[in-house]
């Protein structure tokens, strides 16, 4: 593996367990029944484990969108033309897409990065890190070379490092690339050993006939290229995409920089799984957002031992779940920073002693 990637992996450390325990102890002093703020408490403690601080805030948020074209579109697996990739990448810089409209509303930064857009464009607001003009169809051999896949991962790592140096407090990871549900499913099938026919979804609304064809294309691509399950870079280079590889790099880079990083939907969660397979410790820095409607999403999120915070039947991609997750994470910080303790509220909490010392209750909802 590339030396710079290996160096990044060495910088990824476990979360600060002392800080997590301190946060949990403090949460038990808050004026409420034990654990009654649920997932918000877990998020607050996790943020403490990342930053090493009891009280945290997330004032500067950024969604990084990795844009690239996927050669597998030539095999008829998508209902949208490949030109949509560049059109929507440009629209993101104008706050005209679903994700970017939400980001603008909530005051989040959006950084659109070209790692492999096929068509030419004139948009200075897109950061040009183009590695090649789209990948190959993986029915004709590997989607790209191993070096190109590693270079895409490195782009993602550098984007995370740049975010940290510019004062970003939390990152979200999105994408724009027609055909990337096909590449994501191929990668997920290899990493999990699950049959592609059972985990392939409709992506951007394809017909039943196209869905059957999409399943066959993925199966044939895997059979042809024989990607090695235990070598994530090999999998990405043979049946993945430049967007997926760069997103994987953002997840790894964020973990190395001790930046909390939010998973969006299906493509994003597969990229996060790639990062976790390369470096298991990196997954400790990941936060979920919403439950994607794609079949493979649940498989990948379970592989990461995470659960989505929201189920809004969303399946847009782009990073559209990230602005919503940011608000939930802000709420977790509010609980830690602004909620009164029993002492501050002048409430005697002795009545909770028996409850606190009792074994954990089963979840009933």
* Listed range (20-29, 204-213, 350-359) with the worst mean pLDDT: 350-359
Asked if the model's pLDDT at residue 363 lies above 90, the reply is no
CB atoms within 10 A of CB 28: 16
Enumerate the active-site residues.
318
pLDDT in tens, 141-162: 999 999 999 999 999 999 999 9
Q: What share of the chain is helix, strand, coil (3-state, %, to 5)?
A: 50, 10, 40
CB atoms within 10 A of CB 193: 7
pLDDT in tens, 278-326: 999 999 999 999 999 999 999 999 999 999 999 999 989 999 999 999 9
* Listed range (37-41, 209-213, 223-227, 345-349) with the worst mean pLDDT: 345-349
Judging by DSSP bridges, how do beta strands 261-263 and 286-287 pair with one another?
parallel
> Does residue 107 come out as left (phi exceeding 0), alpha (psi in the -120 to 50 range) or beta?
left
What pLDDT sits at residue 204? Answer: 75
C-alpha to C-alpha distance for 143 and 134, rounded to whole angstroms: 9
pLDDT band with cut points at 50, 70 and 90 for residue 203:
confident
pTM for this predicted structure: 0.95
Closest-CA residue to 137 (of 244, 241, 268, 245): 241
Query: Which residue is it, tokens 């996927």?
Result: 70
Asked if the model's pLDDT at residue 364 lies above 70, the reply is no
Name every residue whose Cβ is closer than 8 Å to that of residue 135 and which is 6 or more positions away in sequence.
68, 69, 70, 71, 72, 116, 143, 144, 241, 242
Mean pLDDT (the chain) is 94
Please, are residues 345 and 33 in contact by the beta-carbon 8 Å criterion? no
Asked if the model's pLDDT at residue 362 lies above 70, the reply is no
Asked if the model's pLDDT at residue 358 lies above 70, the reply is no
Token pair listed for 223: 């059979």
C-alpha to C-alpha distance for 174 and 63, rounded to whole angstroms: 7
Closest-CA residue to 94 (of 63, 118, 126, 66): 126
């Amino acid at each position: 593996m590339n030396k710079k990637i290996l160096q990044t992996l060495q910088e990824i450390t476990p979360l600060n367990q002392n800080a997590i325990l301190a946060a949990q102890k403090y949460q038990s002093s808050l004026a409420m029944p034990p654990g009654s703020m649920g997932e918000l408490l877990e998020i607050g403690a996790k943020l403490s484990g990342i930053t090493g601080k009891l009280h945290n805030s997330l004032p500067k948020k950024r969604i990084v969108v990795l844009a690239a074209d996927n050669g597998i579109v030539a095999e008829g697996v998508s209902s949208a033309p490949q030109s949509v990739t560049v059109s929507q990448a440009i629209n993101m810089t104008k706050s005209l897409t679903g994700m970017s409209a939400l980001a603008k509303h909530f005051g989040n930064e959006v950084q659109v990065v070209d790692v492999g857009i096929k068509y030419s464009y004139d948009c200075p607001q897109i950061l040009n890190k183009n590695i090649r003009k789209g990948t190959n169809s993986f029915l004709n051999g590997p989607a790209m070379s191993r070096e190109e896949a590693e270079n895409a991962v490195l782009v993602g790592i550098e984007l995370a490092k740049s975010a940290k140096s510019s004062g970003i407090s939390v990152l979200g990871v999105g994408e724009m690339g027609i055909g990337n549900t096909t590449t994501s499913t191929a990668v997920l099938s290899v990493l999990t050993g699950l049959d592609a026919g059972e985990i392939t979804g409709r992506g951007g609304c394809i017909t039943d006939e196209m869905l059957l064809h999409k399943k066959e294309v993925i199966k044939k691509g895997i059979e042809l290229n024989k990607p090695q399950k235990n070598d994530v870079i090999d999998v990405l280079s043979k049946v993945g995409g430049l967007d997926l590889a760069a997103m994987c790099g953002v997840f790894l880079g964020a973990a190395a920089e001790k930046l909390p990083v939010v998973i969006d939907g299906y493509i994003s969660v597969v990229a996060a799984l790639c990062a976790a397979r390369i470096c298991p410790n990196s997954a400790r820095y990941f936060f979920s957002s919403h439950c994607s409607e794609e079949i493979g999403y649940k498989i990948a999120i379970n592989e990461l031992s995470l659960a989505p915070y929201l189920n809004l039947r969303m399946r847009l991609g782009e990073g559209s779940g990230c602005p919503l997750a940011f608000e939930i994470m802000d709420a977790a910080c509010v609980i830690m920073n602004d909620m009164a303790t029993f002492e501050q509220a002048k409430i005697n909490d002795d009545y909770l002693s028996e409850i606190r010392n009792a074994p954990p209750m089963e979840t009933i909802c």
